[in-house]
Amino acid sequence: MNYILAHDLGTSGNKATLFREDGTLAGSVTKAYPLYQESALTAEQDAEDWWRGFRDSTRELLLNSGVSPEDVAAVSFSGQMMGCLPVDREGRPLRRALIWADQRAQEEAALLSEKIPLPEFYQIAGHRNTASYAVQKAMWLQKHEPEVYENTYKFLNAKDFIVQRLTGRFCTDPSDANSTTCFDIRKLQWSERILEASGIEPDKLPEIVPSTAFVGYVTENAAKETGLSTKTRVIMGAGDGVAANVGAGSVAPGSAYLSLGTSAWVASTSREPILDPEMRIVCWAHAVPGLYSPNATMQYACGSYSWLRHVIGTSEADKAAALGISPYDVLNAEAEESPAGAQGLYFLPHLMGERAPRWNPEAKGAYIGVTSETTRADLVRSTLEGVAYNLSLCFDILNREKDIETMTVIGGGAQGRVWCQIFSDMFGIPVQIPENISEANSLGAAVIAGVGAGLYKDFSAVKRFVKTRETLEPNDAAHALYLEGKVEFDRLYRVLFSQ
């Protein structure tokens, strides 16, 4: 039997997951690694920690599962994006990686904006010019650590580093190339315009290959370290946000998914880049060759619900402890006691500023419409609805052609059925809750590996992996109410925060 090995190289650790060719799970192991933060603006990781996480989780997974290395047909990756790791010609790290959360390159982003106006930059890259991305970080290294920059052979992302260590090749895929923002999203190649403005030399960037590209077999040295076979194919893989598209089943136009974690994003699949004149969303190159993944991320989704639970949900926590259930189960039950619209109570979920669709770091949270008749149930429901309203505004931008027919909800928030129903009612389309709400990245990497290794004909094989636990249909009356409520939600934000 053939097995597929998927690695999800996240910020807190690496998760190795082994799947059978039929899509069933054979085992999983996670290894944590540290994050180094010397100030509020810096966030670094040691690439050798990534390698140790990959190596140790692979060896342990093979040992625990009893699977022969010879039966692992392919390995592929979902990896944290927007990082900047300088390596030499041997692939050795020259310093710790500046990861996605590192914000030190503010001046470099401003300098780039002087040379390329933001609307033009957005049209080329599909993203705004900010310090979060890799080309701005490379500019910072060029200025502040010139010796490191001069000795850099290639700048890599997390998964690219592991692929190089396994095969000896310096490659990246379109999604991670996209996360540098020196990538032309229409031409699917490095942008001469942005590179010239940034001063970064094109030959310091890796070769771009498809996510499904067969990069090579595991080398003998890498096989000795990891326990893999030299017959195992290494498939390029994709950035984690795009791998999740595949793992959520959004591999063709007409489908979308919502990742509902501390932050949240709604993403779809399209044949052409979807860019917004107001630059409220971003667009990624999809893991499925030739497709795109328009995406809109809000800052604090489940984070807002967590804030509510800790600030006013103490009685719910006590009740949950007595019943042996989660406090959120108690809060969800309360939310169902309040009608759609929470009796006119609105919550603006901007507790940490806001990304899409506002792009306003100064925005604040608020409850508006509190009366003497407002109940705790209304507070809970309005919190869930406020997050949904914000994401619904994002969804409308992605769905400008009105062609999205289904939405899959993944992440911790998908455990709350009442919240999933609110999303179905808000978006006006069926919402699917998969059996494995937290496995989208690994599932996506596994499908990419299977397609790249020739085990599957195409990405329709995702049906082997993604099983729907429940489908929620929209309530017409609630949808009509939310359409009006969304207009008011948008108006309230503009009254409070528009300049």
- For 282-334, what is each residue's pLDDT tens digit? 999 999 999 999 999 999 999 999 999 999 888 988 999 999 999 999 999 99
Domain boundary among 184, 212, 236: 236
Q: Residues 486, 399: one domain? A: yes
Domain boundary among 236, 251, 268: 236
Q: Residues 253, 177: one domain? A: no
Q: Which two tokens stand for residue 218?
A: 């595991």
**What CATH number is associated with residue 400?**
3.30.420.40
Q: Residues 209, 256: one domain? A: no
Give the pLDDT mean for 260-269. 95
Give the pLDDT mean for 358-386. 96
Q: Report the percent of the chain where pLDDT is more than 90.
A: 96
C-beta neighbour count of 396 within 10 angstroms: 15
Q: Which two tokens stand for residue 9?
A: 């190289």
* Distance in angstroms (rounded) separating the CA atoms of residues 392 and 426: 7
Q: Residues 153, 179: one domain? A: yes
Give the pLDDT mean for 402-424. 96
Does the residue 453 lie in any domain?
no
Domain boundary among 170, 202, 236: 236
Q: Residues 363, 300: one domain? A: yes
Does the residue 443 lie in any domain?
no
426-445 pLDDT, tens per residue?
Answer: 999 999 999 989 889 999 99
Does the residue 11 lie in any domain?
yes
Q: Where are the alpha helices (DSSP H) in 66-173?
A: 106-115, 118-125, 134-144, 146-151, 158-167
Question: Quick one: pLDDT band at residue 401, thresholds 50, 70, 90?
Answer: confident
Asked whether the beta carbons of 64 and 222 are under 8 A apart, the reply is no
Beta strand pairing call for 85-87 and 72-79: unpaired
Q: Residues 231, 303: one domain? A: no
Q: Residues 182, 57: one domain? A: yes
Does the residue 38 lie in any domain?
yes
Q: Residues 156, 67: one domain? A: yes
Q: Residues 178, 258: one domain? A: no
474-486 pLDDT, tens per residue?
Answer: 999 999 999 999 9
* Distance in angstroms (rounded) separating the CA atoms of residues 64 and 59: 9
Cis geometry, peptide bond prior to residue 357 (ω within 30 degrees of 0):
yes
Q: Which structural domain range is residue 485 located in? A: 240-434+467-499
Overall number of domains in the chain: 2
Give the chain's radius of gyration (CA, Å).
Answer: 23
Give the pLDDT mean for 262-281. 96
Does the residue 456 lie in any domain?
no
167-224 pLDDT, tens per residue?
Answer: 999 999 999 999 999 999 999 999 999 999 999 999 999 999 999 999 999 999 999 9
Residue 1 has pLDDT above 90, yes or no: no
Q: Is 114 left (phi over 0), alpha (psi -120 to 50) or beta?
A: alpha
Residue 82 has pLDDT above 70, yes or no: yes
Q: Residues 220, 262: one domain? A: no
Closest-CA residue to 94 (of 25, 31, 47, 57): 47
Predicted local confidence at residue 499, as pLDDT: 57
Q: Terminal CA-to-CA distance of the chain, rounded, Å? A: 62
Predicted local confidence at residue 498, as pLDDT: 77
